[in-house]
Structure 1
């Protein structure tokens, strides 16, 4: 299963270097008015829709998705397209579970495109399995219809669908769904949970090939291998300090900081190493909380202190002047940036340690793909920090 999710990461990379050099020609109808005025494209995004089979046989798949989320985020946080670091949005669907509405193809949108990594983690942990019918074409088409994929040619738009039943089931033909995906510049990548040849014979490979995506076959019941490092304890101590730099505001503040703590605990359920991976994610530019944290909110160009009501402030800031609030937030920002730099520095040492202590033949497919993708990426000037 680790191979599945790591392959997922590097399949993203394989397609993403193409996005860096996409044809930038647009018609006027493709631009927003702001883009026309500024003569600049909107911010670049990596958009990932993850479609997970939650039928009875997929317990291992769901369990490992929970365990590997933060490694996925961390790998994507190092991606660069030219001088830019793209943002990340993840959407989540479950399908093939007979607790879901049969009239809608046993499909549920768990989460639309979101940058809220804590919310994504929460929803992954909410998934449970049960028997049902698995309609690949229909869940792909549903995600194409419901999600806001956008028209920026520099956005990387990816669907990853995982399951173990024939790709041909259901009333919507996967070939028609693939045609619609190509129209939206969305690449479909397929992960068959079982024998590689069986996945080919049940059309999972064809489902990927139609949009030039990647086909992968994995054993969903393989356990994730976590490698402990001498730097883990120090990183986790820094996580506790990092959490103290959040300055809640608004109605969502208390709920969201509780959610942050809950997802810290969920990550730690798997292993110390997984909790460390989450901490590293929290130190990256992809971990954003502007809806409830004043430090992140202040960086938003639309944020105004004048819009804040006294009732929205935490107790520590009530009765304070605007200049006093700004000084408090600036102090927390400086503390956070310092802590994040320390985490990243320790993580660089941690990555080297893990690389040295991996078994030579572990995750052979992952290592082979990593090497191939990075070599191709160099030619396209796509890079990883």
Structure 2
């Protein structure tokens, strides 16, 4: 499972190297004057990193999908600490496509958008776990074309936009030429990174490396079926227990409230069913700034804008808050917020100790390819204007 971690963490490292352009751009351009309102004054211009994962779901790709499920939380946990310049904390959005599956429409090129760009971590996890494999034709050029056309990549020059496509058939299959897709991506300032599931040289001969080079992306080859044993630590059980307490600080509201809260529990279970360590990583993600649920949780909603409380109907509230005054509701929300922050802080503190423990007990398992690739990217990142804290 460690290999998908390098795929996803490569996205983060590429984020550091490429996003410095966005940081520098901000420093040298003047924004047009805008009318300042009470609400607008609270908000700063948001910067995004948009990552589209294009995953081959043909019969041979079960290992790839399982790794993606397990390692989603690694990218979130690393990205939590990213900073552009001195103050800006970029937001992460992930989109998901599957291709090469016989269950998909042949008219669509055996391609399906599973999820458009989303920052809803529970939803992203749910969609990953919904993927199944089944034969098919794998059209790399067409799935890249489709993602470029369908997704809302935005027009902000400061945003970092990346595609990660993974598969094991020749990059040239299908009617749409990958070179045309690469040209289109480059025009949109989107980096295409390719992950060949198989022998490194075979990936080169089947033009996976070429597909990455055309946009300045990275080419990687992995053993997608390799199983990596996670290291259990003395802090895991405590973090998992704290995660249960953390869930109790969420106050569902509105039409989607109960369904989203059930989804939260379901994705906890999905992570735990993979391995205990995955459940721990998810709990750490839930204690981070990137796990926000203002659309269904009153604590996050009130933090984003307290006006939402006065606009809710009594029937939109959970039973324990129905019939309560606005002041009583706000007191309850503030109590839950305090509880949540305390739990999140404890999880972060325990995770810091957990990471030290893992570093001390983990044997060197990085292959020469991955080690060389990561070293090169880190060297480039050190010359850029990105920091991690």
Q: TM-score range by the shorter chain?
A: over 0.9
How many residues end up aligned between the 2 structures?
381
Identify the match of residue 49 of structure 2 among 32, 36, 46. Answer: 46
Cα distance between partner residues in 2 of 1:80 and 1:364: 29
Mapping 1:299-378, distance limit 5 Å: 299-301=303-305, 303-363=307-367, 365-378=369-382
2:226 to 222, 228, 237: 222
CA distance in 1, matches of 2:193, 2:148: 14
CA contact (8 A) 1:67 1:224 kept: no
TM-score normalized by the length of structure 2: 0.93
Q: Which runs of 5+ in 2 are unaligned?
A: none
Compared CA separation, residues 358 and 31, structure 1 to 2 (3 A): farther
2:20 paired residue number: 20
Encode CA deviations 1:236-261: one digit per residue, 9 max, x unaligned: 11101101100110011111111100
How far off its partner does 1:371 sit? 4.0
Residue number in structure 2 paired with 1:105: 109
Counterpart residue number, 2:180: 176
Equivalence for 2:5:
5
Equivalent of 2:205 in 201, 207, 211: 201
| Structure 1 residue 92 corresponds to structure 2 residue 96 | yes
TM-score (norm: length of structure 1): 0.93
State the SS of the aligned residue for 2:83: strand
User: 1:231-284: CA deviations, max 9, x gaps?
Assistant: 111111110110110011001111111110000000001111110000000001
Give distance in 2, aligned partners of 1:309 and 1:162. 46
- Asked if structure 1 preserves the Cα contact closer than 8 Å seen for 2:8 and 2:71, the reply is no
> Residue 21 of structure 2: SS of its match in structure 1?
coil
Task: State the secondary structure of the residue aligned to 2:382.
Answer: helix
The equivalences for 1:52-131 within 5 A come to 52-82=55-85, 83-131=87-135
| 1:269 corresponds to which of 258, 266, 273 | 273
Change (3 A) 1:339 1:370: farther
Aligned counterparts of 1:148 and 1:196: Cα–Cα separation in 2? 33
Alignment of 1:222-301 (within 5 A): 222-301=226-305
What secondary structure is seen at the aligned counterpart in 2 of 1:299? helix
Q: Cα 1:348–1:305, aligned 2, differ >3 Å: closer, same or farther?
A: same
In structure 1, C-alpha distance between the alignment counterparts of 2:35 and 2:196, rounded to whole Å: 43
Structure 2 distance, partners of 1:220, 1:32, is 50
Q: Secondary structure of the equivalent of 2:303?
A: coil
Aligned residues of 1:166 and 1:204 also touching (Cα < 8 A): yes
* Cα displacement (A) at 1:160: 0.3
User: Where in structure 1 are there 5+ consecutive unaligned residues?
Assistant: none
